Amino acid sequence: MSFSGGCACGAVRYSCTAEPAYMGNCHCRDCQRATGSAYFAAIGIKASDFKLDSGELGWFEKPADRGHIVKRAFCAGCGSPILLINDANPEFRVLYAGSLDDPAIFQPMQDIYVASAQPWDHLDPDIPKYDRHFTRK
C-alpha cells in the first residue's frame, strides 16, 4: 500500500510507501489545540516509509506529559498540520489524517487520552479507549 498527502496550499507534498503501523485518535489537550478540534486523527508510519516530496516544513516543539519532546511539523506557507515526531520513538512519523489525499483510508484502532475528551465529542463505542497513551499490539 502506498499513499500521499499534503497541505492546503499545495506547497507541501509527501508520500508513504507502506501500510500504516498505527491509526488512532488522540484526545489530549495538546492535540486538541494543534488541530483546533476534538482530537488528532493520527496515522503512524515508520520514518523510513515517509518521503517529503516538496515544500518546506515549519516546526513547533513542546515537552509531552512524559517528559520527551514532541515536534509538530506544518506547512511553512499555509500552516496546515502535516506530521509529528515524538522523541520517545524517533523512527516513527505520525501524520495528520486530514492531510491525506484520500482520508477515507483512516480506520482508527483506538482512542487515547480519553480522560481529556470533550463532552461534545462522540467517541466510537466500537474501538478501545485508554485514559493516557496508546499501547502497541
The residue that leads in pLDDT, 76 or 136, is 76
pLDDT reported for residue 135: 54
Q: What is the mean pLDDT of residues 27-49?
A: 95
Residue 79 in contact with residue 85, Cβ under 8 Å?
A: no
Q: What is the mean pLDDT of residues 85-104?
A: 95
The residue that leads in pLDDT, 67 or 80, is 80
Integer Cα distance of 93 and 50 in angstroms: 8
Residue 54 in contact with residue 77, Cβ under 8 Å?
A: no
For 52-66, how does the pLDDT look when each residue is reduced to its tens digit (9 = 90+)? 999 999 999 999 878
Domains and CATH numbers, the chain: 11-100+110-116 (2.170.150.70)
Write the single-letter amino acid at 9: C
Residue 94's closest CA among 50, 61, 127, 136? 50
Integer Cα distance of 43 and 131 in angstroms: 19
Q: What is the mean pLDDT of residues 14-38?
A: 95
Integer Cα distance of 60 and 49 in angstroms: 23
